[in-house]
Chains A and B, each alone.
Chain A
Amino acid sequence: MGAKLILDHVNKSFGDTNTLNDISFEVKAGEFVAVVGPSGSGKSTFLSIAGALLTPSSGRVLVGGEDLSYLSEKERHRIRLEKIGFIFQTSNLIPYLTVRDQLLLIAELSGEQTAGEKKADELLEQLGLSHRTGHYPEKLSGGERQRVAIARAWMNDPDILLADEPTASLDLKRGRDVVEMIADGVKRRNKAAIMVTHDERMLDVCDRIVRIEDGKIR
């Protein structure tokens, strides 16, 4: 089974500053990679390029075997919907959707409403959220919110999960729970995940650690 994500000699510059410098990088199926590095080193930029939110200035990005280089904006939407799962730092969830509807939205967007209901209930069960399905995000704890975000990210069976500091607003115990749930999902489905984190105490849960400094992998 090949790589879920490949970055091939990727550069990214904003104006004349080089934020990412000749990054080549692979994540295999079943692998959970942590990305660490000082503030401003380009971690979020790296994640945005891997997640088809940004286009690289040069180099190639392949997600689940599909080359993103020549895709239109519309096709990049499709890639994000079908092949990538996102977990952001905060404000992941849509305030006016219940926990279950957060997941069903993904099914609605991909036009698989009927299969979606069963899938959503399974995921909520797996992440220990069955008793929260009808709640709005405002009624959830920070940890529960991130678990809903994880469940939503798995909804479409993506090739890769991308998480930008998912534990930043959580205490150690809850933070570890969330990271372990991501790791569990990766193994269970044989998919891949990349997590940007500042918290060294989470690193033992991950399979591999990648350090980014000044836009280069060390």
Chain B
Amino acid sequence: MFLAIREMKYAKLRYTLIGLIMVLVAWLVLFVTGLANGLASDNAAVIQKMDADYFVLQEEADNRLNRSELSAGQVDAIGGEPFGVRMMTIEHTGKVDVTVFSMNPESEIMPRIVEGKSGVVADQSLQMTIGDQFTDSITREVMTVTGLTEGQSFSHTPAIFVTEGPVSAVAVQSKSIHVDGVELLTKKEALQSIPGYKEEQGSLMMMIVFLFMIAAIVLAVFFYVMTIQKMHQFGVLKAIGTHSIYLARTIIYQVIIISIVSLLISVALVYGIAFVLPVDLPFYLTPSLTAGTSLLFLAVSVLGSLLSLYKVTKVDALDAMGGSF
């Protein structure tokens, strides 16, 4: 720490600039991570949160929940918790697209009701209160909200949970199903087959991977150039008895200090930005996701300094002799 801190204090500008780049990259990483997570949730929260490991769909449904239709006979033969999915446009204050899930309100797969009781349970994101009425824009059926859920959405639309409806799929806990005309999907497969899910997550994930690589490479180049410049100095340090490991530790300390300070600033920035973002932007960053991303960022940064560490171990103490070249 002795050398690490003093060098950073001496060359403030240099380390501040590299820190600034790291702040921006870390901020982008966290922001895109939050966006990916928010979009995933927006598109698939109901399925993500559902207490089930497997889903049984109609074989011809092409893995799509909202295309699947199971007969009463199939449902009985499968066992488990049946539920229905259908898209609907409702009229409340204006026209809104929603996804209506029908399921037994006593079943395991029914989400937690945060207010009110079962019947017609709307997600809070619809901005309705208990007792509000809305109309199915096709059948003109009028429904009254009896309860509210939190964070339940599907296919980028808010979810509404009702008790009756045709069965689209069955949630089961075991994969041993022997029924004709059905297909068994894992939860992951079910998520991947939601329209747009794979594409959104894939492209955002690619951005995140690239950002991690940029962070690693920027740090690698910075410390490598610094190390090259300091070869003679490292030679002197080794000649007067500094061990390579001590010098390597100095570089690692500097990388860790830069990364942690940059991460703290960018976490603060990201949470600050999250406050001023429009509410309908699907941005969702949990503390554990932030912590995990930050740790990964730290690890990647340290990885980026390996090249310099290698260089440092190769410095010959003899370089100190014979003046400067």
A interface list, Cβ under 8 A from B: 44, 47-48, 51, 53-54, 74, 77-78, 80-82, 86, 88-92, 94-97, 101, 104-106, 108-110, 136, 152, 156, 164-165, 168
B236 within 8 A of A: yes
Q: Are B321 and A47 in contact (CB under 8 A)?
A: yes
List chain B residues, Cβ under 8 A from A48.
Answer: 318, 321
Alpha-carbon separation in the docked complex, A90 to B323 (Å):
5
Alpha-carbon separation in the docked complex, A77 to B237 (Å):
10
B275 within 8 A of A: no
Q: Are A97 and B6 in contact (CB under 8 A)?
A: yes
A53's partner among B6, B239, B242 (CB-CB below 8 A) is B239
Q: Which residue of A lies closest to B233 (CB)?
A: A94
Q: Are B10 and A95 in contact (CB under 8 A)?
A: yes
25 CB-based A-B contacts, threshold 8 Å = A48-B321, A53-B239, A54-B318, A77-B242, A80-B241, A86-B239, A88-B239, A88-B323, A89-B322, A91-B324, A94-B3, A94-B236, A94-B237, A96-B6, A96-B9, A97-B10, A101-B2, A101-B6, A105-B2, A105-B3, A109-B241, A109-B242, A110-B241, A136-B10, A165-B323
Q: Which residue of B lies closest to A90 (CB)?
A: B323
Interface size class of B (residues with CB under 8 A): 20 to 34
B10 CB to closest chain A CB (Å) equals 3
B241's partner among A82, A89, A95, A168 (CB-CB below 8 A) is A82
Q: Which residue of B lies closest to A82 (CB)?
A: B241
List chain A residues, Cβ under 8 A from B53.
Answer: none
Q: Are B321 and A88 in contact (CB under 8 A)?
A: yes
B240's partner among A74, A97, A106, A168 (CB-CB below 8 A) is A106
Chain B 229-273 interface mask (CB, 8 Å, partner A; 1/0):
000110011111111001000000000000000000000000000
B7's partner among A74, A77, A96, A106 (CB-CB below 8 A) is A96
- List CB contacts (< 8 Å) of B1-59 with chain A: 2-3, 6-7, 9-11
Alpha-carbon separation in the docked complex, A96 to B250 (Å):
14
Q: Which residue of B lies closest to A91 (CB)?
A: B324
B321 CB to closest chain A CB (Å) equals 5
A20 CB to closest chain B CB (Å) equals 14
Alpha-carbon separation in the docked complex, A48 to B316 (Å):
12
Q: Are A88 and B320 in contact (CB under 8 A)?
A: yes
Q: Are B318 and A91 in contact (CB under 8 A)?
A: no
Chain B 201-240 interface mask (CB, 8 Å, partner A; 1/0):
0000000000000000000000000000000110011111
A96's partner among B10, B242, B320, B322 (CB-CB below 8 A) is B10
Alpha-carbon separation in the docked complex, A109 to B232 (Å):
19
Q: Which residue of B lies closest to A89 (CB)?
A: B323
Alpha-carbon separation in the docked complex, A88 to B243 (Å):
19
Q: Are B241 and A77 in contact (CB under 8 A)?
A: yes
B interface list, Cβ under 8 A from A: 2-3, 6-7, 9-11, 232-233, 236-243, 246, 317-318, 320-324
List chain A residues, Cβ under 8 A from B246.
Answer: 109
Q: Are B232 and A91 in contact (CB under 8 A)?
A: yes
List chain A residues, Cβ under 8 A from B7.
Answer: 96
B234 CB to closest chain A CB (Å) equals 10
List chain B residues, Cβ under 8 A from A91.
Answer: 232-233, 236, 323-324
Known: A53-B317, A96-B10. A80 touches B323 (CB 8 A): no
Known: A53-B318, A95-B233, A136-B10. A90 touches B324 (CB 8 A): yes
A156 CB to closest chain B CB (Å) equals 8
List chain B residues, Cβ under 8 A from A86.
Answer: 239-240, 320
List chain B residues, Cβ under 8 A from A51.
Answer: 239
List chain B residues, Cβ under 8 A from A78.
Answer: 241
List chain A residues, Cβ under 8 A from B6.
Answer: 96-97, 101
Known: A48-B318, A94-B233, A105-B3. A168 touches B239 (CB 8 A): no
List chain A residues, Cβ under 8 A from B232.
Answer: 91
Alpha-carbon separation in the docked complex, A207 to B124 (Å):
93
If A48-B318, A78-B241, A156-B241 are given as contacts, then 11 extra A-B residue pairs at C-beta distance below 8 Å, sorted by A number, are A54-B318, A80-B239, A88-B321, A90-B324, A92-B236, A94-B237, A95-B233, A104-B2, A109-B242, A136-B10, A165-B323
- Residue among B3, B6, B9, B323 facing the most chain A CB atoms (10 A cut-off): B323
List chain A residues, Cβ under 8 A from B241.
Answer: 77-78, 80-82, 106, 109-110, 156
Q: Which 8 A-B pairs have the closest CB atoms?
A: A81-B241, A96-B10, A89-B323, A80-B241, A91-B324, A96-B7, A108-B2, A90-B323
Q: Are A44 and B243 in contact (CB under 8 A)?
A: no
Q: Are A77 and B10 in contact (CB under 8 A)?
A: no
List chain B residues, Cβ under 8 A from A53.
Answer: 239, 317-318, 320-321
Alpha-carbon separation in the docked complex, A104 to B5 (Å):
14
Alpha-carbon separation in the docked complex, A47 to B322 (Å):
11
Alpha-carbon separation in the docked complex, A40 to B262 (Å):
51
List chain A residues, Cβ under 8 A from B320.
Answer: 53, 86, 88
